[in-house]
Chains A and B, each alone.
Chain A
Amino acid sequence: AQSVTQPDIHITVSEGASLELRCNYSYGATPYLFWYVQSPGQGLQLLLKYFSGDTLVQGIKGFEAEFKRSQSSFNLRKPSVHWSDAAEYFCAVGPSGGYNKLIFGAGTRLAVHP
Chain B
Amino acid sequence: GAVVSQHPSRVICKSGTSVKIECRSLDFQATTMFWYRQFPKQSLMLMATSNEGSKATYEQGVEKDKFLINHASLTLSTLTVTSAHPEDSSFYICSAGSQNSYEQYFGPGTRLTVT
Contact = CB atoms under 8 A, between A and B. Distances in A.
Interface of A: 32, 34, 36, 41-46, 49, 51, 90, 94-95, 98-102, 104-107, 109
Contacts of A49: 103
Nearest to B107: A43
Interface of B: 1, 4, 6, 32, 34, 41-44, 46, 49, 51, 57, 91, 93, 95, 97, 102-109, 111
Classify the secondary structure of A's interface with B.
strand
A38 to B, nearest CB: 9
Which has the most chain B C-beta neighbours within 10 Å: A43, A46, A51, A95?
Answer: A43
Contact of B43 (A95, A98, A104): A104
A99 B106 CA distance: 16
| Chain B CB within 10 A, most for which of A34, A99, A106 | A99
A43 B106 contact: yes
A107 B43 CA distance: 6
Interface-central residue, B44, B103, B106, by most chain A CB under 10 Å: B44
A34 B1 CA distance: 14
A46 B6 CA distance: 17
Given A100-B97, A101-B34, A42 B43 contact: no
B104 A100 contact: yes
